Amino acid sequence: MSERAWPFLKMHGLGNDFVVLDARAHAIDLTPERVRAIASRGTGVGCDQLVVMTQATDSCADAQMLIYNADGSEVAACGNASRCVAWLLMKEIAADKVVFQTKAGLLDAESRGPHQVAVDMGPARLDWREIPLAEAMDTLHLGITAGPLSDPVGVSMGNPHAVFFVDDAEAVPLAQLGRGLEHHALFPERANIEVAQVLSPPDADMGRIRMRVWERSAGITMACGTGACATLVAAARRGLSPRKAEIILDGGSLTIEWLKDGHVLMTGPVAVAFTGVLDSSLLP
């Protein structure tokens, strides 16, 4: 017997989709099994990540966002969900700026149009311990190879990323290579894997980069906001791109800028797909 009906919002950022639950007024009892059941595209609502809004524990924040991958694991950062939650909060308090709390830190966000949001995703972290890697290494050149992929750049955006530069992103068999790279022994917390093809000259005013992603615990998704941030940072570090670029994902484009203070600004769209109420078998 259900004790409480849980309304949800189905949202997405460039096709990277989320079930969003608001647990600010009532605590939610989530287990990895329940997350998996809700995220299941066969028997649940279906999503790449489950996002839960809770009361912030930091008085500077309007709310807190908890993020769970479809396999039930909790993660600290999600760029596309950050825009969605920021948009919800801005609408709710009729403001064009909000601050919200994540496990990766406090994030500032502001409206850039009716369904466009910019989020300061915080600093890109570049030390091997912060990715984290299993051993000391220059994060500009990780010594790993898989099929046609080699020599990625390691970046943490609050979650771990390995960015491989390639001549043709479409030609990479990401579905075959993604899982092995995600679980590579160099990544004790596993990693999100990006393949990136730089389309613009390095001296362009603004770069253009085609990027595909294999997300940790979710597989290939239509877009990954933190992956887009990591890709721009990796490309700029390698001298392949200016510090601002359009990152073209399967689901559309994000504008990413690596600011002089080390923070990464992500701007892109937000969409509400539908609303519903969780079946009591999914969240008893």
Binding string, 226-255, against ligand LBFN2T5F, x = CB under 6 A? x-----------------------------
- Of 85 and 198, which has the nearer Cβ to ligand LBFN2T5F? 85
Distance between CA atoms of 50 and 20, rounded to whole angstroms? 6
Window 15 to 44, contacts with ligand LBFN2T5F (CB under 6 A): 16
Question: Could you count the other beta carbons within 10 Å of the beta carbon of residue 80?
Answer: 33
Structure tokens at 66: 């908890």
Residue type, 178: G
Residues 57-96, one symbol each (x = binds ligand LBFN2T5F by CB under 6 A, - = not), give ------------x-----x--xxx----------------
Pick from 102, 156, 192, 241: which binds ligand LBFN2T5F (CB under 6 A)? 192
Half-sphere exposure of 80 (CA within 13 A, CB side): 32
Active-site residue, 84 included: no
Residue 276: half-sphere exposure toward Cβ, Cα within 13 Å: 15
Which are the contacts of 106, defined by CB distance < 8 A and separation ≥ 6?
58, 60, 61, 99, 100
- Contact string (CB under 6 A) for ligand LBFN2T5F, positions 127-166, x = contact: --------------------------------x-------
DSSP string, 91-158: HHHT-SEEEEEETTEEEEEEE-STTEEEEEEEE-B-STTTTT-SS---TTS---EETTEE-PEEEESS
- Please report whether residue 14 would count as binding ligand LBFN2T5F according to CB under 6 A: no
Task: Report, as residue numbers or ranges, the catalytic residues.
Answer: 78, 224
The binding site for ligand LBFN2T5F (CB under 6 A) comprises 16, 48-49, 69, 75, 78-80, 159, 192, 215-218, 221, 224-226
